[in-house]
């Protein structure tokens, strides 16, 4: 399993208001410096507007740093799928993560299944995997049933159990239901608890290992899915009071998370099952 980081690890540092805003080339360099081997450019709109020359520059930089590129978008409509398959081929990406639809869209399930099946045919022909992220918009059992009906080995699931809390699915349920079809993993820790004063509950991001994600159980469930599966670190980092403090916390969370994943990967290779 490869260890990677997502552009969601740079949510605050990619903003123009950041003290030192980053672009894709520095992200590739940071991925290498942190010891990760995958960068998932996920829900990052600027990538869609890069020229052919700029895309080639990104690809060459990634190859020089021995960093594999993955992509992420939303929806399975024909236009989006064509655009991201083209981007994947230009960047040398072997995987594209997507989801049922964009937030706020209500796509009929028969249309979703038809579009996904068509996209799966094109991605398989190109040798690029397409994976659907677990989200509250579609119950995980329903997502699994759609993939089972299509039965295309180039289609799979991007496992992120934290996303489904809003649909009242527990992380353990999501992991157990989706495990057999997982081709990509978003490693994102979280905590679920009462608001201050006790009026209601909230879910907040946590540094990897400091929250309620049962990382060991998640990895045990997908053990054997293949060595080319990537573990991609993400964050739900809340605002820390200032741009400087928030960007520093984001850098700390990312560095800690990658070290933890690499350490866990090393322990797992020697039979040690302790988590990060």
Helix residue ranges, H only, 39-189: 52-64, 78-91, 109-126, 140-150, 171-178
- For the full predicted model, state whether its pTM sits above 0.85: yes
- Which residue's entry shows tokens 């527990």? 170
- Percent above pLDDT 90 for the chain: 79
Mean pLDDT of the region 35-57: 97
Other CB atoms within a 10 A radius of the CB of residue 129 amount to 23
All structural domains of the chain, each given as residue ranges with its CATH number in brackets, are 2-269 (3.20.20.150)
Span of 8-17, 43-52, 263-272 with lowest mean pLDDT: 263-272
131-179: pLDDT as tens digits: 999 999 999 999 999 999 999 999 999 999 999 988 889 999 999 999 9
Categorize the per-residue pLDDT at 65 as very low, low, confident or very high, splitting at 50, 70 and 90: very high
């Amino acid at each position: 399993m490869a260890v990677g980081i997502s552009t969601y690890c740079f949510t605050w540092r990619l903003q123009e208001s950041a003290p030192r805003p980053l672009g894709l080339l520095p992200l590739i360099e940071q991925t290498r410096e942190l010891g990760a081997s995958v960068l998932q450019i996920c829900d990052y709109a600027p990538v869609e507007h890069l020229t052919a020359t700029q895309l080639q520059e990104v690809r060459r930089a990634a190859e020089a740093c021995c960093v594999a590129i993955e992509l992420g978008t939303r929806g399975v409509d024909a236009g989006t799928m064509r655009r991201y398959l083209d981007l994947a081929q230009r960047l040398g990406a072997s995987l594209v993560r997507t989801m049922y639809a964009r937030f706020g869209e209500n796509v009929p399930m028969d249309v979703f299944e038809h579009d996904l099946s068509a996209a799966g045919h094109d991605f398989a022909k190109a040798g690029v995997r397409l994976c659907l992220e677990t989200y509250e918009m579609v119950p995980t059992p329903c997502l699994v049933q759609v993939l089972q009906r299509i039965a295309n080995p180039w289609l799979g699931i991007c496992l992120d159990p934290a996303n489904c809390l809003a649909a009242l699915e527990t992380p353990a349920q999501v992991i157990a239901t989706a495990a057999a079809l997982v081709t990509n993993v978003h490693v994102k820790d979280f905590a679920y608890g009462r608001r201050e004063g006790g009026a209601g509950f909230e879910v907040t991001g946590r540094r990897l290992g400091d929250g309620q994600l049962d990382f060991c159980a998640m990895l045990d469930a997908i053990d054997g899915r293949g060595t080319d599966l990537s573990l991609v670190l993400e964050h739900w980092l809340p605002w820390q009071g200032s741009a400087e403090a928030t960007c520093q916390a984001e850098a700390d969370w990312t560095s800690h998370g990658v070290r933890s994943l690499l350490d866990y990967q090393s322990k797992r290779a020697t039979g040690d099952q302790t988590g990060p």
